[in-house]
Amino acid sequence: MNAIISFLKQRRSVMIRKLEPHPLPETDLLSILECGSRVPDHGMLSPWKIIVIAGDQRKKLGQSCLRSEFAKLNPEATDAMLEFEEKRFEQASVVLCVISKPVDHHKIPKWEMHLSAGAVCQNLLIASLALGYGAQWVTHWYSYNEKMLQTLGGDPATDKIAGFIYIGKKTIEPNERNRPNISKVIVRYGEKHEEG
């Protein structure tokens, strides 16, 4: 079978807790970023940004944003919970945040720009997995946090975080996950569709 098709048919995310934050060689990071920025994009607007959170910045952002914002949102949070939030990004070698930044356009709807940002996330994920890393696309609570969005250069009036891609060394091969029954999600137009 074609190697890419075979990879795509078996590809599986690796949960963040199954990652180790070994340093990611710069050449691999650049390959991942190049794949992430090569996506379908109506009108060539590049209506997104990829923010690389690496090295000490993982810890700094954890202290300056994750911990403090979580504490603000959860006044009852225990020290252990705050500690976990602070160290979240340090679970991965690198965390990539994709911010969807739609622009005003006379023809292209903003919805299509958000979809393009989703394609960036998927390409970053696929490229990371293809290089043998473990990776996961998550949003968690902090994708919807205004301070996080602003800290990473987004404008809350227009922009949205499409996701954070955690990349690291995988400590274990992931188990298969239940997948949709193809006959339930694919409709051949004009033929009777199996419901449910």
Ligand X SMILES: Cc1cc2nc3c(=O)[nH]c(=O)nc-3n(C[C@H](O)[C@H](O)[C@H](O)COP(=O)(O)O)c2cc1C
Interface contacts to ligand X, rule CB under 6 A = 12-13, 136-140, 163, 177
Q: Could you tell me which of 48, 53, 37 has the C-alpha nearest to residue 158?
A: 48
Q: Which amino acid, residue 40?
A: P
Which one, 107 or 177, has the nearer CB to ligand X? 177
Which one, 13 or 145, has the nearer CB to ligand X? 13
CB of 120 to ligand X, least distance (A): 12
Which one, 24 or 121, has the nearer CB to ligand X? 121
35 token code pair: 């794949």
- Contacts of residue 109, defined as CB under 8 A and 6 or more positions apart, other chains included, come to none
Q: Is 159 exposed, middle or buried (0-12, 13-18, 19+ CB in 10 A)?
A: buried
Tokens 């473990």 correspond to: 134
CB of 75 to ligand X, least distance (A): 22
Instruction: Give the residue at shortest CB distance from ligand X.
Output: 13
CB of 167 to ligand X, least distance (A): 12
Alpha helix segments (H runs only) across the chain? 3-10, 26-36, 56-61, 68-73, 79-87, 110-130, 146-151, 182-185
CB of 40 to ligand X, least distance (A): 17
Which one, 13 or 123, has the nearer CB to ligand X? 13
